[in-house]
Structure 1
Amino acid sequence: MAGPSAPATPAAPWKRHIERQLRQRDRAQKARFLELVPAYNRLLEKAELLTQFSEKLQPEPNKVTPTAHQGLWEEESEPDSDQVSSPATLRMKWQEAEEGLRLVCGEMAYQVVEKSAALEALESELEKQQSRLAAQGARVAQLEETRAQLAGQVEERQALSAARRTAYDTLRAHARLREAALRRLEEDTHHLLEQLVQLKARAAAQRNLRNEHQQRAKQAQVLQELKKAVRKTVSINESPDTLGNVTREGALTLAPAAELVSQESEACEKKWKRPFRSASATSLTLSRCVDVVKGLLDFKKRRGHSIGGAPEPRYQSIPVCVAARLPTRAQDVLDAHLSEVNAVQFGLNSSLLATGGADRFIHLWNVVGGRLEANQTLVGAGGSITSLDFDPSVRGLCPKGLPGVGSHLQQGRPALEGGGGTVQAGIGGVWQETLSGHSDKVTAAKFKLTRHQAVTGSRDRTVKEWDLDRAYCSRTINVLSYCNDMVCGDHIIISGHNDQKIRFWDSRGPHCTQVIPVQGRVTSLNLSHDQLHLLSCSRDDTLKVIDLRVSNIRQVFRADGFKCGSDWTKAVFSPDRSYALAGSCDGTLYIWDVDTGKLESSLRGPHCTAVNAVAWCYSGSHVVSVDQGRKAVLWH
């Protein structure tokens, strides 16, 4: 196939490829006719020779002999008939050969027609292929143009990437300098905090010493005044008209010696004025006066204005869930933090959620339409957050962390945040005061049911009660093992410890009231809303339900595949206390029926790492779980 003259520039590879394919197809089509054309040519040559031979054999009209002489010629030729065939025989042979050639020529003509039709079909196919080749050529030209444009964009992107890499290197060097400065500042801050803790401790000691001196001085003054009052003569007023009838209706009035006492003893002075039967009963002993004064001082120390007065202010009641719904599927999955998520807690209205993680951030979320929508991010924690607690007043939040207690974020009231062995206080996320007392990492914190009080546990093996209004530690309890988690009741504090024991403390007493041993380090405690049952999770891969009315273990929950993933893995009751929920180290959630002790269901799916904490909303409709892989999952 002849083609156009070769261009000055070498042909593109795709053109050479197409040209080779066309040549191969031409050779293949030509090979099919190589045998047919020579055979057809030979047949034509034979047919032409036979035609010539037949023409020679036909007699000419003027040379035909008469019939009379024909017999003679035949007779004369008979002797040679054996050697030379007669014309009739040759004519018959020629006719037979001619008929055979006609048949062969017909077959060959039919094959020629078939081959011609096939050739036309191939030519039409060739035209189609040529049209496709032209279209593909146009497409290739367009792609080449697009490729050139993309190559230009790649060069621009490479230049931009190089510029950004240079800027990144510069920023990285600057960040290293800032990190070094930050480390220096953190060290300075740590030293300042230590100094501040020491100053606070000294100030607290001085304040306690000053208060003790003032109290002792006041007691000494009162005792001196009472001694003076005792030494004075007691006068007896007798009415003249009843003087002769003293033994029957005599009345003795105690001299007003109580005026020397402060105004706070006026309420008790009336009790001292009473009729006596003899004059010997009118003398007041020193021991009696001391007892009265001690009673007055103890009366001042009591909380409230009187023993039978109004009770301590308490938080409003927690909403009650009639029946919790078992979660069956994951509604929303998101990366909640920059690193491991350790804590999650629902608010009392079930639409506010808080999460805390190792990135020292606390994120607040709104549960809207089966999705978690970001609300607010709280910063300033001194360490990774390991657990969270909402203020029962519905307005605030108390997160705890390693190291630290976390934040009690409430409008118009202080916030608590722990770092190292301190608890920081602030308003609206701005830290304003530090509550010092713990000498090691604070690992757990809870609000008490009475207002403005909280309890913390630390690795320094102490449990402390805090007065949040006056921002000081009101009580310190020394424990043999550090606390991993705790819960608070009306007058009871329950703490779970690393020495595989659960301890009970009475807020009104100095000592531990009860100890319940478990098989494994206690990782979490959860108190039912009726405060009658306690759920504990421990490193022996079991959950236990403790009946607080009889102080014994009522149920033990186990399951194939359930393993506690860390020392701060949290397990919770459902709001109606019908189910117990915990997450395993393989990312599976396990739900047990509290009444029967059987495994109700197990939820698998979004979590690929250990589940650190779970939370069940107070309405009983949603569950949220968080894991070590930054994920928070909303279950419905």
Structure 2
Amino acid sequence: MTESDPVSRARSAEAWKRHIVGQLKHRDRSQHDRYQELIRFYTRLLEKTRLTKGILSSSPRRPSVGSLLQHNDQLKKITGELAYQVLELQQQTRTRESLLEEQQYRLEAEKLRLAGAFDYRGVLQQQVEQVQLENAALKTKYDELLELQRREEAKLREEKLRGDRLLETMIQEKQQAAAHMNSRNQRRSRAREAHLQKELQSTRSKVTLESSRSMSPKRDLQLESREGGHSRLFRSLSVSSPRILSSFRDLFHRRRRGHSVCSMEEDLVFPVRVSLYARVPVRALQVLEAHEQGINAVRFSSSSHLLATGGTDREVKVWEVQSGSLTHRTTLEGSTGGITCIEFDPAGFRILAASYDKSALLWRLDDSVAKLTLTGHRRKVTAARFSGCLHQVVTGSEDRSIRVWDLQRAACVEVLEVSSSCSDLVCSENSVISGHFDSRIRVWDTRLLRCVQELPAQGKVTSLDISSDHRHLLSCCRDDCLQLVDLRGRSNERVCFRAEGFKCGSDSSKAVISPDGCFLAAGSADAAVYIWNVSTGKLETRLPDRHSSSISAVAWSLSGEYVVSVDKSRRAVLWSDI
């Protein structure tokens, strides 16, 4: 109980007294009203009696017996009426008294109920006070937690700034180390070339001397008249030049013993099996749940025997394509974010992937652990491609930059700043073509390291693809249009492809050109694959009813046999004309 309880009890007692006085006044008024009519009749009776007495007393002569009898009859009649009225009034009085007793009983019951309500009100007031105390304690605790959160957020911001500074410092150190490595490699290369030139000159003199001693003057004159001096020299070298052969052998052995992240088998150039005739798919051969979450990217290898998929579950899965079915081969791990783009190297030994975790990763097919991680972008990496050079890759990011990486040094060698986020890119000989969110396609010269041309697009660019002969560029835009650009001339003739029902599903939807360049394929938000004929510009076919959500990417095998489409509900579908 609190100190305010006596005061509240005194106030409640005064209110109770006022309530009782009011009830008494009300009862007095009600009872007075009930007997008022009886009193009025009684008063009239008294007045009539007085009047009769006055008449009798004022009469000058003695009344006769008949008049008295008549007067008595009138009095009896009046008295009977008054008595009957008295009885009726008494009956009404008893009825009202019983009603009053019932009301008093109900009043007592209401008083008891009111007393219980007052008691319950007191209990509720105590509960309210207790809840208020608890709320005050919780408010104090909440204020403490809020202050702790503010301090932790300030620490987090400081740690982020510190991490950014450390990252910038690390990038600068890597750039300095790369520049130092470049200069050292250049010095070594120049020294090696000078040494080889020196050995070549000494070998030339020795071979010339030996050949001059072994040949007769007549044979020398015939060779000199038949061939030039250089031809004669190289013919001699091809016959006997053990020192030069050993020099070249040592050079290749030294290269294999270096610290490069690429092996000799990866340096070899393998022929790419490109079909001269791509077959338009007509039915689904296989439908499978390829990932645990949505799939963002899909790509065939150059041999068309392997397929790679990557999704938001941070995994890259490799599948074998055999006899019209997909068989899981291996899972490549190491990314801490969702996969946005996948590409095989030309030889088919490595896989490059771009990730949401601001990096690009490189795997060998025989190792599930990432061999190399390229870090330096400030936002998610949306595209990663092998360039024309054997040991270079190019990445594009939402941080409005394009970076060129040297795989041998695992370092960034060039940074191209752009005014808009990069959504996708493709590489051609001595050039990089990038698509951006500002509805622009930019062509970069890797030798000049600058943008040499800008092509307008119909909307925000979501993907790019280049034909196998590097003559045509395909762009997919958010305005639900595919645009095919002719790269051979300066006019860059463009053709747009649309279809009723086709809708670009996201900012990363990917479309492809068939290996023979005759067809275009893209997935739509209505869960169907649309294929256009390039020569006619019309829709060739529509493949529905196999996906349950928006299709994010499509891949066409270089053999021309298969098409694979993936969607946001982790489903992959293998299509063919078989």
Bucket of the pairwise TM-score, normalised by the shorter protein: 0.5 to 0.7
Q: In the alignment, residue 335 of structure 2 is paired with which amino acid?
A: A
Aligned letter for 1:492?
A: S
Structure-to-structure mapping, 1:225-236, within 5 angstroms:
none
Q: CA deviation at 1:510?
A: 2.3
- State whether residues 403 and 443 of structure 1, in contact with CA within 8 Å, keep that contact through their aligned partners in structure 2: no
Once the two structures are TM-superposed, the CA of residue 602 in structure 1 deviates from its matched residue by 0.6
User: Structure 1 residue aligned with 2:515, among 575, 579, 587?
Assistant: 575
In the aligned structure 2, how far is the partner of 1:318 from the partner of 1:332?
26
Does residue 454 in structure 1 map to residue 428 in structure 2? no
Match of 1:349 in 2: 303
2:287, 2:571 within 8 Å by CA — same for their partners in 1? yes
Aligned residues of 1:318 and 1:529 also touching (Cα < 8 A): no
Q: Choose from 318, 322, 328 the match for 1:364.
A: 318
Matching residue's letter, 2:517: R
1:436 to 375, 379, 383: 375
The residue type equivalent to 1:569 in the other structure is S
| Partner AA of 1:389 in structure 2 | E
Q: Is residue 2:447 matched to residue 1:508? A: yes
Amino acid at match of 1:321: S
Counterpart of 1:632 in structure 2 is 572
1:202 shift after superposition: 4.0
**Could you tell me which of 450, 453, 456 is aligned with 1:517?**
456
Distance (Å, rounded) in 2 between the aligned partners of 1:627 and 1:556 = 24
Q: Secondary structure at the match of 1:203?
A: helix
Query: What SS class does the counterpart of residue 409 from structure 1 fall into?
Result: strand
Is 1:329 the counterpart of 2:270 in the alignment?
no
Partners of 2:431 and 2:184 in 1: CA distance:
33
Residues 372/536 of structure 1: CA separation in 2 closer, same or farther (3 Å cut):
same
Matched, 1:482 2:452: no
List aligned pairs for 1:206-605, cutoff 5 A.
Answer: 206-207=176-177, 315-410=269-364, 428-431=367-370, 434-551=373-490, 552-605=492-545
2:173 is paired with a residue whose SS is: helix
Structure 2 residue aligned with 1:17 = none
Q: Is the 8 A contact 1:315 1:449 kept in 2?
A: no
Contact 2:296 2:339 in 1 (8 A): yes
Unaligned runs of 5+ in 2: 1-155, 188-193, 200-254, 256-266
With over 3 angstroms needed to count, the CA separation of the structure-2 counterparts of 1:191 and 1:394, relative to structure 1, is farther
Shift of residue 380, structure 1, vs aligned partner: 1.4
* C-alpha distance 488-315 of structure 1, shift in aligned 2 (>3 A): farther
Q: Give the structure with higher Rg (CA).
A: 1
- Residues 361, 372 of structure 2: 8 Å contact kept: no
* Aligned match of 1:59: none
Separation in 1, partners of 2:300, 2:179: 43
Cα RMSD after superposing both structures: 3.4
In the TM superposition, residue 430 of structure 1 has moved relative to its aligned partner by 2.9
Secondary structure of 1:407 counterpart: strand
Give the letter aligned to residue 568 of structure 2.
Answer: Q
AA at the equivalent of 2:573: V
TM-score, normalised by the number of residues in structure 2: 0.56
SS where residue 171 of structure 2 aligns? helix
- Equivalents in 2 of 1:193, 1:380: separation in Å? 21
Shift of 1:500: 0.2
The separation in 1 between residues aligned to 2:574 and 2:540, in whole angstroms, is 19
Query: How many Å apart are 1:499 and its aligned residue?
Result: 0.4
Is 1:385–1:406's contact at 8 Å kept on the other side of the alignment?
Answer: no
Assess if the C-alpha contact under 8 Å between 2:359 and 2:375 holds in 1: no
SS at match of 2:517: coil
The alpha-carbon distance between structure 1 residues 208 and 535, as it changes in their structure 2 partners (threshold 3 A), is: closer
Can you give the 5+ residue segments of structure 1 that lack an aligned partner in the other structure? 1-185, 219-261, 268-303, 305-312, 413-427
Question: Would you say the 8 A contact 2:363–2:369 is kept in 1?
Answer: no
Aligned mates of 1:482, 1:466 — CA distance in 2: 19
Rate the CA distance shift 1:591–1:395 in 2: closer, same or farther, 3 A: same
Alpha-carbon displacement from aligned partner over 1:116-145 (angstroms, at most 9, x marks no partner): xxxxxxxxxxxxxxxxxxxxxxxxxxxxxx
Distance 1:354 1:441 in 2: 20
1:375–1:195 CA distance, 2 compared to 1 (3 A): farther
**Does the C-alpha gap of structure 1 residues 192 and 508 become closer, same or farther in structure 2, counting only changes over 3 Å?**
same
**In the alignment, is the contact (CA less than 8 A) between 1:357 and 1:385 conserved in 2?**
yes
Task: Trace 1:84-233 onto structure 2 (pairs within 5 A).
Answer: 197-204=167-174, 206-207=176-177
Kindly provide the amino acid, as one letter, of the partner of residue 204 in structure 1.
K
**Structure-1 residue corresponding to 2:554:** 614
SS of the residue corresponding to residue 430 of structure 1 reads: coil
> How far off is 1:533 after superposition?
0.5
TM-aligned CA distance change 1:447 to 1:469, over 3 Å: same
Shift in alpha-carbon separation, 1:330–1:434, aligned structure 2, 3 A: closer
In the superposition, relative to structure 1, how do residues 332 and 478 fare at CA in structure 2: closer, same or farther (>3 Å)? same
Equivalent residues of 2:358, 2:378 under 8 A apart: no
Q: Would the aligned equivalents of 1:545 and 1:554 in 2 still touch at CA under 8 Å?
A: yes
Which is worse superposed, 428-437 or 324-333? 428-437
Could you tell me which amino acid in structure 2 is paired with residue 628 of structure 1?
K
User: Are the structure 2 counterparts of residues 214 and 576 from structure 1 closer, same or farther at C-alpha, using a change threshold of 3 Å?
Assistant: closer
8 Å contact from structure 2 (residues 362, 370) kept in 1: no
User: Contact conserved, 2:364 with 2:371, CA < 8 A, in 1?
Assistant: no
* CA–CA separation in structure 2 for the residues paired with 1:212 and 1:323: 45
The separation in 1 between residues aligned to 2:564 and 2:369, in whole angstroms, is: 29
Runs (4+) off by over 4 Å: 186-196, 208-215, 262-267, 431-434
- Cα distance in 2 for residues equivalent to 1:402 and 1:210: 31
Q: Which amino acid aligns with 2:547?
A: H
Distance in 2 between residues matched to 1:208 and 1:430, nearest whole Å: 25
Provide the C-alpha distance between the structure 2 equivalents of 1:212 and 1:614, rounded to a whole number of angstroms: 40
- Residue 437 of structure 1 aligns with an amino acid whose one-letter code is G
Taking structure 1 as reference, are residues 540 and 411 closer, same or farther at Cα in structure 2, changes over 3 Å only?
Answer: closer
Percent identity over the alignment is 44
1:416 alignment counterpart = none
CA distance 1:625–1:191, change in 2 (3 Å): farther
| Cα separation, partners in 2 of 1:604 and 1:214, compared to 1, 3 Å | closer
Mapped partners of 1:439, 1:505: distance in 2: 21
* Residue type at the aligned position of 2:273: P
Give the aligned residue type for 1:582.
A
- 1:319 alignment partner, SS class: coil
Give the superposition deviation at 1:469: 0.6
User: Which amino acid is the alignment partner of residue 468 of structure 1?
Assistant: L
| Number of matched pairs | 352
C-alpha distance 454-432 of structure 1, shift in aligned 2 (>3 A): closer
Match of 2:84 in 1: none
- CA gap of 1:214–1:610, structure 2 versus 1, over 3 A, is closer
State the secondary structure of the residue aligned to 2:493: strand
What pairs up with 1:44-83 in 2 under 5 angstroms? none
User: Matches of 1:580 and 1:213 in 2, distance apart?
Assistant: 46
Find the aligned partners of 1:560 and 1:517 in 2 and give their Cα distance: 24
Shift of residue 584, structure 1, vs aligned partner: 0.5
Q: Deviations over 1:474-493 (max 9, x none)?
A: 11111111110000011110
